[in-house]
Amino acid sequence: MPFALVVRFTVRPGAEAQFDALVAETVAAIRDSEPETLVYACHRAVGEPGRRTFYELYRDRAAFEMHESMAHTRRFLAEREALLEATDVEFLSLVDGRAPVKVTAEFDA
């Protein structure tokens, strides 16, 4: 079963560029080393320079737990705290929809 979450961050004024650089480094590592992280997208809120919204989609809960254990994720979690005013996490449960990525046989158990 896919595992997804949405995370909304309020970045401290003046820390937006530093936060975005940390995100870029983290996303590059995710792209290179986490094939079961299907979507990891960071969006800026239009008209709100300090707001960032992440959408994360993992093959399953185990893939999310693997993501959380990775060195680049642990670094992101630690370093982001000084850059943020607020964090809101919402875990999602799929009811219905169209998958954004075709899952290949190499991931099928």
Strands (E), 1-109: 3-11, 37-45, 48-58, 84-92
47: left (phi over 0), alpha (psi -120 to 50) or beta: left
Model pTM?
0.85
Task: Please report, as a single letter, which amino acid is at residue 79.
Answer: E
* Structure confidence at residue 86 (pLDDT): 98
Residue 76: CB atoms within 10 Å: 18
Residue 15 has pLDDT above 60, yes or no: yes
Q: Name beta bridge partners: 11.
A: 84
* Structure confidence at residue 99 (pLDDT): 61
Q: How confident is the model at residue 96 (pLDDT cuts 50, 70, 90)?
A: confident
Task: List the domain range (segments joined by +) for residue 74.
Answer: 3-107
Q: What is the CATH number of the domain that holds 94?
A: 3.30.70.100
pLDDT tens by residue, 22-41: 999 999 999 999 999 999 99
pLDDT tens by residue, 25-81: 999 999 999 999 999 999 999 999 999 999 999 999 999 999 999 999 999 999 999
Residues 6+ apart with CB under 8 A from 81: none
Quote the number of domains for the chain: 1
Report the distance separating Cα 50 and Cα 108, nearest Å: 39
Cβ pair 67, 34 in contact under 8 A: yes
